[in-house]
Amino acid sequence: MKKLLIGATAALLAASLVFPACGIVRASAEETAGKAAYLCEYESGTVVSQREETKHLPIASMCKIMTLLLSFEAVESGGLSYEEEITVSQNAAGMGGSQVFLAAGLSYRAEELMKTVAVCSANDSCVALAERIAGSEEDFVAKMNARARELGAEDTLFANCTGLPKEPQYSCAKDVALMLRALLGHRKYFEFAKVWYEDFVHPDGRTTRITNTNKLIRSYTGCDGGKTGFTNEAGFCLAATAKRGETRLISVIIGADSSASRFDATKEMLDGCFQSYETRVLIPEGEELSERVPVRGSIEGEIGVAAERSLKEFVRRGEEEKASVSIELCKDLRAPVPAGTVAGCATAYRNGVEIGKVDLITVHDADKMGWWDALRETARKWQ
C-alpha 251/C-alpha 47 separation (Å) is 10
How large is the average pLDDT for residues 254-278? 96
The model's pLDDT over 48-105, given as tens digits with 9 standing for 90+, comes to 999 999 999 999 999 999 999 999 999 999 999 999 999 999 999 999 899 999 999 9
290's CB contacts (< 8 A; 6+ apart) are: none
pLDDT at residue 81, as a whole number: 98
The model's pLDDT over 345-370, given as tens digits with 9 standing for 90+, comes to 999 998 888 989 999 999 998 887 65
Nearest to 45 by CA among 184, 148, 154: 184
The partner residues of 209 in beta bridges, in order of sequence, read 199
pLDDT at residue 32, as a whole number: 75
C-alpha 262/C-alpha 258 separation (Å) is 7
Residue ranges matching CATH 2.60.410.10 in the chain: 2-12+284-382
C-alpha 143/C-alpha 138 separation (Å) is 9
Q: What's the CATH code, domain 32-277? A: 3.40.710.10
pLDDT at residue 381, as a whole number: 54
Residue ranges matching CATH 3.40.710.10 in the chain: 32-277
Instruction: Report how far apart the first and last C-alpha atoms of the chain are (Å, whole number).
Output: 32
40's CB contacts (< 8 A; 6+ apart) are: 46, 47, 48, 177, 181, 249, 250
DSSP assignment letter at 29: G
C-alpha 112/C-alpha 129 separation (Å) is 11
The model's pLDDT over 89-147, given as tens digits with 9 standing for 90+, comes to 999 999 989 999 999 999 999 999 999 999 999 999 999 999 999 999 999 999 999 99
C-alpha 37/C-alpha 97 separation (Å) is 25
DSSP assignment letter at 110: H
Length of the chain (residues): 383
Which ranges of the chain does DSSP label H, i.e. alpha helix? 64-77, 90-93, 110-120, 123-134, 137-151, 173-183, 187-193, 216-219, 259-276, 371-382
The model's pLDDT over 146-161, given as tens digits with 9 standing for 90+, comes to 999 999 999 999 999 9
**Is 50 exceeded by the pLDDT of residue 206?**
yes
pLDDT at residue 376, as a whole number: 54
Burial 248-267 (b: 16+ CB within 10 A, else e): bbbbbbbbbeeeebbbbbbb
Beta carbons of 242 and 223 less than 8 angstroms apart: yes
CATH class of the region 2-12+284-382: mainly beta
**Is 60 exceeded by the pLDDT of residue 13?**
no
